[in-house]
Structure 1
Amino acid sequence: MDIIITGASGFVGQNLALYLSNRGISISNLSLRSSDWYSNIENKACAIVHLAGKAHDTSNTSSDEEYFRVNRDLTIKLYDLFLQSDIKDFFYFSSVKAVADSVSSGLMEDAIPNPLTPYGKSKIEAEKYLLSKPLPPGKRLFIIRPCMIHGPKNKGNLNLLYKVVEKGIPWPLASFHNERSFLSVDNLSFLIQAMLEKSDLASGIYNFADDETLSTNQLVSLVSETLGKKPKLWHISEKFIRYIVMLGDFIPLPLNSERLKKLTESYVVSNAKIKDALAIQHLPLSAKEGLTKTILSFKK
């Protein structure tokens, strides 16, 4: 089996390519940064996994146009070429943020999209275009909406949280109570392989998430325990924290409104649809097992 991966040099791309190649799947990397990328698509491949995109910028320095140029326009060009090719499957990695910026109960695939950020809006516009085009016989379209992905080599908020705990800095946001879904890159890779191999899997939108949720306080405790430290949870007044955060929106402080939201909001995602479609009861790694593996990689 041969597949094409865009964004293969990124965190998810590297892990997915390694996972699949270790299981006998041949990987071709397609960079969309070259001016002639469209001429490098191999028709012999059976699938395109489109990971390349403009990630959500919590510092809010990226222009709106850049999100739409990368996440929507490049996806449209790639998908149009897919429709004209002999390639069977197209995997588009969208995001749960294409649907909602915050959810307390399990987010389902049929939720009415209401993205609030340029990132989310660019993703949902790409989704709408893909779904508007008739699929030729024998082709399949999978729109993947993952929640927060983590794993070895991840440099996102989980790594920042690890550094806070490692330095012995107390977690000052313990007064905020939430529940969050996470996604181990190993579970993500497992699902992609299973989808590739299930020839009768129906096209559609599929959420990706681990089976269980954790609160941020539980995550801080898990990092602490993995490091052999006692968790330091400070229950500072939410009102006071929000006042400090307002200052961070105007002057360079470690915490601003966007970062506070990402660290303390509830975001629960249901993975029931993809598990039902693949006839599986549990993903290979529990949420805690996957997070522990990621945390241990930071130690190394």
Structure 2
Amino acid sequence: MTIEIALTGATGFIGSAIVRELQQSDHFNVLGLCRNIPVNAEPVLAAVGDLAEANLSSVLQRTSVIIHAAARAHILKDKVPDPLAEYRRVNVEGTLNLARQAVAAGVTRFVFISSIKVNGEATFNGKAFHADDVPAPEDAYGLSKLEAEQGLMKLVADTGLEVVIIRPPLVYGPGVKGNFASMIKLVEKGLPLPLGAIHNKRSLVGIDNLVDLIIRCIDHPAAANQVFLAGDGEDLSTTQLLRGVGEAMGKPSRLIPVPAGLLQFGATLLGRKAMAQRLLGSLQVDISKTCELLDWKPPYTVQEGLRRCFERSN
């Protein structure tokens, strides 16, 4: 039987990858929802405008599963007057408006792409985040994702809607933007980087692994009303990651072994502590619950994911 799926954020980095994968299967029929339909878009797209205000009754009529990947993403230099209010409007109100209309339309499962920022910003002493840890978001984006999760779980109790929450760490793949894209550009230019002696541990998830997990959660019985952490299943230091990026690109990564403590001190003096945390700190996730409950394992290693990333980019 074909499962009818509505996917929000269908033109985004994660959403477009989900659409491509779902279209290759006869088991799923996907309708991609987006704010505005871009030029030369896929024919499976429908424009729904602002999710916080949209009336979705017509587009959800035959839907049995929603994958909600649309969000106001984490923004480093936010220019809106009240970032928290805007995150809440998009990520909380938009999510819950969609979910309430999903219940009214008879949708049975709601797969919500959340964020590891719900757990926190860093891990210490080799202790990874777990799916059932007490949430500890530290910024407006993470808080908005947590509040959306809490609203969805209240709907579970009130209506019987099945909710699946997936919290990915940094996602990489073809077309990625943000910090990962900046790192790729630095390696590509062959610039010497003072990051050759960093011994932190960071979990990542390749877009192919994340999409595979999301698809597993569409109809797996054990996924209902659970929180899952996503990841590649192996943690890398910043030094190892930069070397891996260079190898995948076929370019040498020119890394100078500067002690992490010295870099941290310099970043503090320059007011760049947040940037230093992303480069020098650890953020590990434990995906054992994900693997055990869903009988799942990441199909690609980090090395394979990086290689696929650049193979597809060329």
| TM score, norm. by length of structure 1 | 0.89
AA of the residue aligned to 1:271? I
Please point out which of 286, 293, 297 is paired with 1:270: 286
Gaps of 5+ in 1: 250-255
Change in 2 beyond 3 A, CA 1:149/1:201: same
1:84 to 98, 104, 118: 104
Give the match's secondary structure for 2:198: coil
Q: Which residue of 2 aligns with 1:46?
A: 64
* Distance in structure 1 (CA, Å) of the matches to 2:113 and 2:307: 25
Could you tell me how far 1:15 is from its partner in structure 2? 0.4
Residue type at the aligned position of 1:10: G
User: Residue 30 of structure 2 aligns with which residue?
Assistant: 27
* Aligned-pair CA distance for 1:244: 4.5
Aligned CA-pair RMSD: 2.1
Number of positions where the alignment pairs a residue of Structure 1 with one of Structure 2: 291
Task: Report percent identity of matched pairs.
Answer: 30
Higher relative contact order (CA 8 A, sep 6+): 1
* 2:39 matched residue in structure 1: none
Asked if the contact 1:30/1:40 (under 8 Å) is kept, the reply is no
Match of 2:91 in 1: 71
Give yes or no for the alignment of 1:292 onto 2:307: yes
- Correspondences of 1:110-149 after superposition (within 5 Å): 110-133=132-155, 134=157, 136-137=159-160, 139-149=161-171
Shift in Å at residue 277 of structure 1? 1.3
* Counterpart contact for 2:222–2:294, Cα < 8 Å: no
Q: Report Cα offsets for 1:23-71 as digits up to 9, x if no partner.
A: 1221112235345443443221110111111111122445221111111
Q: 1:94 aligns with which of 99, 103, 114?
A: 114
What secondary structure, in the 3-state scheme, does the structure 2 residue paired with 1:141 have? strand
Would the aligned equivalents of 2:118 and 2:146 in 1 still touch at CA under 8 Å?
yes
Larger mean Cα displacement after TM superposition, 156-165 or 120-129: 156-165
Q: Secondary structure at the match of 2:73?
A: coil
Equivalent residue, structure 1, for 2:38: none
Alpha-carbon contact 2:57-2:101 (below 8 Å) kept: no
CA contact (8 A) 1:46 1:87 kept: yes
TM-aligned CA deviation for residue 219 of structure 1: 1.0
1:177–1:200 CA distance, 2 compared to 1 (3 A): closer
**3-state SS of 1:211 partner:** coil
CA distance in 2 between partners of 1:109 and 1:200 (Å): 15
Q: Residues 186-225 of structure 1 correspond to what in structure 2 (within 5 A)?
A: 186-199=208-221, 201-225=223-247
Deviation, structure 1 residue 294: 1.6
1:222-281 alpha-carbon deviations (Å, 9 max, x no partner): 1222333333211234455345434654xxxxxx3322222222111111112111223x
